[in-house]
Structure 1
Amino acid sequence: MKYTDVFNDLIYVYPISKVTLTDIQFNEELKGLSNESPIATPLYQVEFKKALTPIRKYYSKLVANTTTKFLNEIIEESKKDKIDVEYEYTFNSIKSRIEQYFHFIREHISNYQLTENVYQTATQNRISDEAYVIHFMKYNCIMLYMWKNRSN
């Protein structure tokens, strides 16, 4: 699957509960994902229940890579020599993007009752996997928001 905006796509375009790939296919997809490296030592890290199934491992890495890219963007923007108005515009734009992700995630959790209890139970189904990934995305958004506020 080709994602243009992972956070939005996993909620609206390719919801995890609708994906039909097998565990073997997810393992192959996982091998194809590169590791995105942060350009600075992260001040914050997401501590989350370890992904044990191929689907959760794949989407966790995809979300983590996307978060790292976004984090790198925040760091790069904070290093640029800009006038105050440009900084304000840039960081308001970043803040709006993160807040929009929060809104989409919160709405998705509410609409589909994807509470933390859903992924913490011992069941293995796509709804449980979707709840896991959505909450992992939420925690990553929190980290991005903290970084953005620190960089601003």
Structure 2
Amino acid sequence: MKCPFCGRDNTRVIDSRPSDDNNAIRRRRVCDVCGKRFTTYEKVETIPLIVIKKDNNREPYDRSKIEAGVLRACHKRPVSANEITGLIDEVETDIFSREEKEIPSSVIGELVMNKLKDLDAVAYVRFASVYREFKDVNTFFDELRKAVEKKKK
């Protein structure tokens, strides 16, 4: 592994431990030349995934897009960063466990909504309003009514 500070490849591992629910390994390394320490992560390489958008365009899967949508939905809500990361990890696990090369964005959106519904009702409605492109207030109220009825059960 090349040192990010001096560029030499004389580095060694001084500590390894599991990370991301055993989906990655975090390694602390030290450079034998300059003595600086740095961290690397080792993950299993997954199948390249293509997302099929609503307009039938295709683009590479990008976790940060799910992250941005969930963060927007959870803005100023009592949802911790760990809960958000956990939700995104669960969605990603569901997506990659399908072992498909292409996945419609609608499937990803539904997975996110199902997870948000259990996490925070307001965040769920916020996400659904953008994802489902509510055209009027009645559509919004219908979705709210469903969320409230689910809470009662």
TM above 0.5 = no
**Of Structure 1 and Structure 2, which has the larger fraction of its residues in helix?**
1
Name the larger-Rg structure: 2
Q: What is the TM-score when the length of structure 1 is the normalising length?
A: 0.27
What TM-score do you get using the length of structure 2 for normalisation? 0.27
Which structure dedicates a bigger proportion of its chain to strand?
2
